[in-house]
Structure 1
Amino acid sequence: MSDLPNVDERRRAEWLALYERMLLIRRAEERLGKEAQAGNLPGGVHLYIGQEASGVGVCSVLEDRDFITSTHRGHGHFLAKGGELNAMFAELWGKRTGICRGMGGSMHVADVSKGILGANGIVGGGIAIAAGAGMGIKVAKEAAVSVCLFGDGAANQGVLMESLNMSAVWSFPVIWVLENNGLSEFTITDRVTAGEFTDRARAVGMPAVTVDGNDVLAVQAAMAEAVDRARAGGGPSLIETKTYRIHGHLEAEEAFLGGYTYRTQEEIEGWRTPDKDPILRFATRLLAEGGASQSDLDQVNNRVLTQIETAVAFALESEDADPELVFDITFSGQRP
């Protein structure tokens, strides 16, 4: 039992689990950022740092039977849904022990056993997949849900309106989660988007809500309501989570920008503060409401760091991916 006063032990355990999952994503991404900058990863990485409360809040009410589709910024979603850290790191290092046997890389982490239908290097590429998964659930008369995590840049793809309309007309159990970080790659979203994103869902008669995407409990509450509605046959919903991407579009961003800047360092630092950063905010709440002691938080951090080091070692010690696999999984039947 906790020695903290007036604590609901069940709530305390649930909140600490949310905190640990967010911190695991943050520390994993920080390590991947360092490895990418050092040139140790075979390919670019798009980090989720700053958006952890959105993915964790969404996935905290899902089960393995529920599907998610992700984005090019998919590491956070993969870990939030219960994806295995060692296998993800091995994938990013291009190793045979990777979740896709080292052949997918950073933008294609997937684990169907966990309902993770995959990250996607195509902007908006997961939208139609989520609609299809929702249709499959509907046809099979299952109690699962399909969740599409996508960004504000992807929201301007035409496939979104097609998929929103289809899911509304046929009442698919799909929850559309728009993670609005205010940035569409290297462009401020407000400069290329008119109107409110939630109005696009309302136009097809779909419930829509905007929540603070850096408040994990607010995201969790909105998601729980949408999931309950979908499981009960009430059809799709759209949740817009307002958040912020602290790192660049990708870790090699400077090479793409050529000296151009689309936001200031002052703006970025403003989102690292305890009142905005999702992890610092939740830690402050845990301490203030008796959900955790500083010792608890320190133990979580140490445990997470140990997991990161173990995963890095696992990746480095694993065999490189087998290039011959390309003739089985990409060019099947086309072996020279």
Structure 2
Amino acid sequence: MTQRTSPNMGEFLHLRGQNLSKGEPIALPLVQSSMYHLPGLPEDFPNYGRVSNPTWTQLEHALAHLEVAPCLCFPSGMAAISAALFATLKAGDRLLVPADGYYVTRILSSQFLAKFGVEVVERDTAEFTEGGFDGFSVVFLETPSNPGLDLLDMSAIASAVRDAGGITICDNTTLTPLGQRPLDYGVDIVVSSDTKSMAGHSDALMGHVATRNPEIFNAVEEWRKFSGCIPGPQEAWLLHRGLETLDVRYDRMCTSAALLAERLANHPAVKSIRFPGLENDPAHALAKTQQIRFGFLISFTLETEAQAEEFINSCALLRPTTSFGGVHSSAERRARWGDAVDPAFIRLSVGCEPVEELWQAFSEALERVSKEPTVSS
């Protein structure tokens, strides 16, 4: 099995600097232009803002270093997922998606791809391999699943799908290339919502596609060019800046999450908890074999929906919001979006706050929700 290694982040931070001429800016310039000076034949020069942009080019160079694969950037994670699916599927194909994964991927598949003649099949993550993969053109993986944090054996599934004549796409949003490297386990395409921890500051929507297959890369690039599904230069610049602190942010978040998960697991107010880093978690053994880090997401359940709402809304160091991966810790009750989870289920995204301050805030909030209501005299 491929060794689980992180990218060389020192080299990453100097990717741009190694190729600078005297007097050039260290920070990536933001190029905000729809047109380029283009006398004569276009040849291989930038020609139009829908096709290329120097800020994108530098961002994709940075992403490619992290993924160890050619990358294309997109204006959101769903744009990246859409590009990967529309570039690899045609009428009559079969698509397998996780029934308990990110719900927007399921909606895109069932409400739009199905209209174009793609047969969409859903399976729960825990039963994903049951029935095999014969007849599927594309198998879409999400591991850990969002929000349940169940895992899939990427190497086994990628091999089985390839033997059956299909390709695999893995959504690696929850772990990033610093926490997990699906391409190293035989997955054909990685997609990511870089809106989350890759950018890290909750101020930019972005996504990317990575693949080591030249034919797939060209198909996705063509899809982007002709669909116009392109990122803005400002957002590309923000993501590039965010990537420069990804290593330190991600390390802090994952380290804190591991400590907090242990404490939450032992708290009497917590009915159940999922975190792959816990030794008694059902996914722990597999996580140790294919993940570099256990991540910064923790899923846990309190006794009642009211307690979950009170915990989220009253905790001083939690922002009640959807999405995750920012420097600010955040949480939400996923049942409000229709996920098939307990009404008191909470998805917690651990941020960059000092961990002991976080635990104090969590403890105080759990103490409040655990108290019996007072009776008026």
Identify, as 1 or 2, the structure richer in strand. 2
| TM-score, normalised relative to structure 2 | 0.27
Structure having greater relative contact order (Cα 8 Å, sep ≥ 6):
1
Q: Which has the larger radius of gyration?
A: 2
Identify, as 1 or 2, the structure richer in helix. 1
| TM-score, normalised relative to structure 1 | 0.29
